[in-house]
Amino acid sequence: MLSWSLTFLIVAIIAALLGLGGIAGEATYIAYILFILFIILFVVSLITGKRPKV
């Protein structure tokens, strides 16, 4: 999921350099949403992950 976020971020940077403001804005928004979702899933997996028995 983090790779999708980075992909959309790269697309947003390229679109911004080419002057495509609308596409750059949408790609940035998608990258932001995917990054937040990745962080939430990462924290949940840390909390509920398997732990060794003590």
Among positive and negative, which fits the CA dihedral 22, 23, 26, 32?
negative
Give the number of other Cβ atoms within 10 Å of residue 50's Cβ.
6
0.75 exceeded by the pTM? no
- For the stretch 11-47, pLDDT in tens is 888 888 888 778 888 888 888 888 889 889 888 888 8
